Amino acid sequence: MAAHVQASSLPPSASAEGAGIVDGSVNGETERLERPPKRQNQRNNYGSNNQDQPDAAILAVPSVVVRDSGGSRPSRLSGGGGGGPPTNETEEEQGLKYGAQHVIKLFVPVSLCMLVVVATINSISFYSSTDVYLLYTPFHELSPEPSVKLWNALANSLILMSVVVVMTILLIVLYKKRCYRIIHGWLILSSFMLLFIFTYLYLEELLRAYNIPMDYPTALLIMWNFGVVGMMAIHWQGPLRLQQGYLIFVAALMALVFIKYLPEWTAWAVLAAISIWDLIAVLSPRGPLRILVETAQERNEQIFPALIYSSTVIYTYMGTHYTPQQSQATASSSPSSSNSTTTTRATQNSLASPEATVASGSRSGNSRPHPQQNNQNRDGSNTLASEGMPLVTFKSNLRGNAEAAGFTQEWSANLSERVARRQIEVQSTQSGNAQRSNEYRTVTAPDQSHPDGQEERGIKLGLGDFIFYSVLVGKASSYGDWTTTIACFVAILIGLCLTLLLLAIWRKALPALPISITFGLIFCFATSAVVKPFMENLSAKQVFI
Amino acid sequence: MTLPEFFGCTFIAFGPPFALFVFTIANDPVRIIILIAAAFFWLLSLLLSSLLWFAMIPLRDVLAFGVFFSVLFQECFRYIIYRILRSTEQGLHAVAEDTRVTDNKHILAYVSGLGFGIISGMFALVNVLADMSGPGTMGLKSGTEIFFITSAAQALSIILLHTFWSVIFFNAFDTSNYLHICYVVGSHLFVSLLTLLNASELYITTLLINYIITIITGVLAFRVAGGTSRGFKKFITCQ
């Protein structure tokens, strides 16, 4: 499961988000069109590179943040390297500030997902009893002996984890080999199953639980509409809210499937095992999820929409909105054109005061053609046109270092300026190409709608995290004790908070499961074993503490 | 009958806190996080007191013992969260969108107090509420009919009291007002121990005294936070 938080919620003060260029959309794979490319910095990478390669370019995307992790390094990412190091303190704080909003932006969907699961568990008894088992769990824990149950659970979770590991590695290999069609087919198939088959089962059980009769044509009509809209929203395009809603529902459904089909102890063992696996997969240098994230960065792509919940604004949606303006914006290459203005404004944001002038300089310069760089562009896009990733080419051209060193290694002192210029160039270059500039527009559009320039950054949370949080809370609520459920809920939210705090400090992809699941497990067992009898005693006697 | 009772009791206990949450907390992400953090700290204190209660096997039936130490643990954790909030105040000031959170020190106290109160009320009431929603009803065979509604009313008073206590407590430590600290700990102990009388169905006594204490504490918290009777009068008459 792609369980990691992706850091892209960072303050404008250090972000070069203006340098956004939409990825995937160009490459004919329209599925990716609607998702904002996500990027994150990896402090180690670009930290070391800061010294080695003082001049590299960034290909930042709107949600990217180019920023030093505060405190560790004095050198800032500043245009031309001219900017003195701004106080790291302030940047850190700003990171936390936007963090606070994004924490809430994740709290709400996580809570909603848990709410759906808990409500379902408590109202539909179908999901709280295990009678059929998954193929992956051959041991059914039928023996009353705790020791037998224990090894059953351990063996089951071991099997399940190896399946997860193999699948993850398969995904990474496919991704590395650029077998996008296979991956997309895989994802589409699995979301198809969830959205049609499992939703149908859910509907059936829901109707049964509430004793509502419904004829097959109506049910099929509902299913068809629901499923098709969901497939479109997840894999193609749709309003962000709709997509988020579908992702939450899919995660909840998946969690319900786990709760239903995993034997009791196995579920707990799997929770513990998956959080350890998450830790390894995201943090270890050769961890598959880390490789996935880094490769996605390198290629300037976003990870598959079906795997990640994103709190950012929708780009396609905005893009369609702003398309009419687009011609106007490109026609008038004056600085006042909203497109370039937002771009450079973002860049301005990203820089300390000396760079602001640079940014404005580049803004005024956006009307002047940059033939040379355009050529570079074209060359680059020629080489990689087949792959449809002009950005990568971009980078390699600038860097002169075509082998993908990873986007994060490209940070350098004067990158912001370049980014700003490049941005504009790209825009002017692509103005002829309606589709491209349209995409470009989609990137900047959110900026226009949110003049404070904070909205375009978002935090991404893997759907796997949603699923396993919900499994934990749902499993806790299946014992019928609400205090345990609430304790788990609070513990998971606090764990998520801590993870996001660490994210703000370390600025790299972090596993979101370990802290939360550890807290959740501790509180779940502690509450059901120790707190529950105490509270039951108290509330039976109506004693309030 | 069970469902209306469920909703009625839910709204009695959690209606006012919910309104407080919606109107004063929900708009500010920092406050929501502090609220949840306070709830977490309350959970920790409850965990500690439950562990103590659980470990003291001979004293398990003597609820007064568990209640006494639980109150002490809660006040300790209130102090811990006070220390944490005060030490991170600088950071919060930079972080908070709305600088009122740190400009007015009572907001932090209020938010963390509400967090304490809401989680405390939830833990006290939520299983009772779950039982309330059916299929049976209290008082059919034995026991009192007003068990649920008195529980809900007590829970509301505890939630409000926690909010007031935090405001007084934080301010008392800021100004080294030991009288107020003693008042908070003392009244918390008193209220909690008083509810032991609920077991013998002395609802009128306990509820009356508890609500009197709630009002007194509320007035004290209002004054501590800088309110005056003139201001209150102006507020009431919408001037």
Q: pLDDT digits over A418-474, tens only?
A: 444 444 444 433 333 333 333 333 233 333 333 333 334 567 888 888 999 999 999
Which residue on chain B is closest to A497 by alpha carbon? Answer: B33
> Which tokens sit at B157?
């008073």
Could you check whether the bond before residue B58 is cis, i.e. omega within 30 degrees of 0?
no
- Give the chain A residue whose CA is nearest to the CA of B44: A523
H helical segments located in A507-527: 513-526
Q: Burial-class residue A309 by CB neighbours within 10 Å (0-12, 13-18, 19+).
A: buried
Q: Is A539 close to B128, i.e. CB distance below 8 A?
A: yes
| d(CA B229, nearest CA chain A) in Å | 31
Please report residues of B whose CB lies closer than 8 A to that of A486.
Answer: 119, 122-123, 126
- The model carries a pTM of 0.72
A15, two tokens? 């972000």
Compute how many other C-beta atoms are within 10 angstroms of the C-beta atom of residue B195: 28
In the prediction, which pLDDT does A49 show? Answer: 35
Q: Give residue A393's pLDDT band: very low, low, confident or very high (50, 70, 90).
A: very low
Residues with Cβ < 8 Å from A468, sequence gap 6 or more? Answer: A1, A3, A255, A271, A274, A275, A513, A517
Averaged confidence pLDDT in chain A: 65
**In the predicted model, what is the mean pLDDT of residues A509-530?**
92
Element (H, E) at A193: none
**% of chain A residues with pLDDT over 70:** 55
| CA gap A260, A354 in Å, rounded | 59
B contact residues 61-120, partner A, Cβ 8 Å cutoff: 63, 66-67, 70-71, 74, 91, 94-97, 119-120
Long-range residue pairs from A166-172, CB within 8 A, at least 24 positions apart, any chain = A168/A1, A168/A281, A168/A288, A168/A289, A169/A288, A171/A288, A171/A292, A172/A288, A172/A291, A172/A292, A172/A295
pLDDT digits (tens, 9 = 90+) for A133-173: 877 788 887 888 888 888 888 998 999 999 999 988 888 88
Does residue A531 register a pLDDT over 50? yes
A352-360 average pLDDT score: 33
The pLDDT assigned to B76 comes to: 95
The string of DSSP letters for chain B reads -HHHHHHHHHHHHHHHHHHHIIIIITT-HHHHHHHHHHHHHHHHHHHHHHHHHHH-GGGTT-HHHHHHHHHHHHHHHHHHHHHHHHHTHHHHHHH-SSTHHHHSHHHHHHHHHHHHHHHHHHHHHHHHHHHHTSS--TTSSSS-TTHHHHHHHHHHHHHHHHHHHHHHHHHHHHHT-HHHHHHHHHHHHHHHHHGGGGGGT-HHHHHHHHHHHHHHHHHHHHHHTT--HHHHHHHHTT-
Does residue B40 sit at the A interface (CB-CB below 8 Å)? yes
| DSSP code at position A17 | G
The partner residues of A461 in beta bridges, in order of sequence, read: A5, A309
Average pLDDT, integer, range B176-193: 94
Name the 3-class secondary structure at A309.
strand
Whether the Cβ atoms of residue A352 and residue A86 lie closer than 8 Å to each other = yes
Residues of A415-444 as b/e, b for ≥16 C-beta within 10 angstroms? bbbbbbbbbbbbbbbbbeeeebbbbbbbbb
pLDDT at A98: 63
| Domain count within chain B | 1
Beta strands in A173-318, from DSSP E residues, in sequence order: 308-310
Strands laid side by side in the A460-462 sheet: A5-6, A460-462, A308-310
Q: Is A111 on the interface with B (CB under 8 A)?
A: no
Residues of B in contact with A101 (CB under 8 A): 29, 97
* A59 SS3 class: coil
pLDDT band at A80, cuts 50/70/90?
very low
* AA identity, residue B19: A
**Between A187 and A419, where is the model more confident?**
A187
Q: Chain A closest CA to B51's CA: distance in Å?
A: 6
CB A307 within 8 A of CB A463: yes
pLDDT at B138: 64
State the amino acid at position A140 in one-letter form.
H
The helix/strand/coil state of A162 is helix
CB pair distance less than 8 Å for B127 and A483: yes
Tell me the shortest Cα–Cα distance from A337 to chain B, in angstroms.
Answer: 30
Annotated domain spans of chain A: 21-94+313-449, 95-312+459-540
Higher pLDDT: A507 or B136? It is A507
What tens digit of pLDDT does each residue of A98-132 get? 667 778 888 999 999 999 999 999 888 888 887 77
For B69, the token pair is: 């130490």
Q: Does A543 touch chain B (CB under 8 A)?
A: yes
Top pLDDT among A328 and B174 is at B174
**Shortest CA distance from A496: residue in chain B:** B33
Residue A409 is predicted with a pLDDT of 34
* Alpha carbon distance A490, A524 (integer Å): 11
Contact A9, A458 (CB under 8 A): yes
Query: Who contacts A137 (Cβ-Cβ below 8 Å, separation ≥6)?
Result: A156, A159, A160, A261, A262, A263, A266
The Cα of A79 is separated from the nearest Cα of chain B by a number of Å equal to 25
Question: For residue B202, what pLDDT band results from cuts at 50, 70 and 90?
Answer: confident
Angle at B124 between CA B120 and CA B125, to 5 degrees: 115
Q: Which of A505-514, B160-169, B184-193 has the lowest mean pLDDT?
A: A505-514
Between CA A206 and CA A151, with CA A251 as vertex, the angle to 5 degrees is: 95
How close B232 comes to chain A (CA, Å)? 31
pLDDT at A303: 75
- Spell out the residues 6+ positions from residue A353 whose beta carbon is closer than 8 angstroms to its own: A83
Helix (H) or strand (E) holding A534: helix A532-540
The segment with the largest mean pLDDT, out of A243-247, A334-338, A417-421, A426-430, is A243-247
Q: Is A6 helix (H, G, I), strand (E, B) or coil?
A: strand
* Candidate from A418-422, B43-47, B99-103 with smallest mean pLDDT: A418-422
DSSP string, A168-179: HHHHHHHHHTT-
**Residue A308 β-bridge partners:** A462
How does pLDDT run across A280-330, given as a tens digit for each residue?
888 888 888 888 888 888 887 777 777 888 776 433 333 333 333 333 333
Report the chain B residue with the minimal C-alpha distance to residue A522: B47
Q: What is the DSSP string of A443-455?
A: HHHHHHH-TTS-T
* Residue B50 forms contact with A (CB below 8 Å): yes
* High-pLDDT (> 90) share of chain A, %: 24
Residue B196: which domain range?
2-236
Which structure tokens are listed for A521? 């497990």
Cα(B93)–Cα(B104) distance, rounded to whole angstroms? 11
The CA-based angle A465-A468-A469, given to 5 degrees, is 80
**CB contacts, 8 Å: B51 with chain A:** 530
Distance from CA of B165 to the nearest CA of A (A): 13
Residues of B in contact with A99 (CB under 8 A): 95
d(CA A33, CA A235): 9
A413 vs A410: CA distance, rounded Å: 10
Look at residues A483, A459, A479 and name the one whose alpha carbon lies nearest to residue A545.
A483
Find the residue in A nearest to B157 (Cα): A544
The pLDDT of residue B137 is: 64
Q: Among A51-65, A508-522, B70-84, where is mean pLDDT lowest?
A: A51-65
| Chain B contact set for A491 (CB, 8 A) | 40, 43
In chain A, residues with a C-beta closer than 8 Å to the C-beta of B38 are none
The complex scores an ipTM of 0.93
Pick from A225-239, A290-304, B24-38, B101-115: least confident: A290-304
B58 by Cβ neighbours in 10 Å (0-12 / 13-18 / 19+) ranks as exposed
3 state DSSP class of A462 = strand
Q: Are A42 and A329 in contact (CB under 8 A)?
A: no
> What pLDDT does A8 receive?
39
pLDDT grade, residue B183 (50/70/90)?
A: very high
Q: Do A103 and B33 touch (CB under 8 A)?
A: yes
Task: Tell me the two tokens of residue A470.
Answer: 């919900």
| B-chain residues near A538 (CB < 8 A) | 63, 66-67, 124
Most confident range, picked from A219-223, A439-443, B138-142:
A219-223
Instruction: Name the residues of A annotated as catalytic.
Output: 278, 465
pLDDT at residue A256 in the model: 93
Q: Is B122 at the interface with chain A, CB within 8 A?
A: yes
Distances (CA, A) of A397 to A57, A365, A375, A390, A404: 9, 21, 10, 10, 11
Yes or no: say if B196 and A541 are a contact pair by the CB < 8 Å rule: yes
pLDDT given for residue A92 in this prediction: 55
- CA A497 centroid distance within chain: 16
The distance between the two most distant Cα atoms of chain A, rounded to a whole number of Å, is 82
A356 three-state secondary structure:
helix
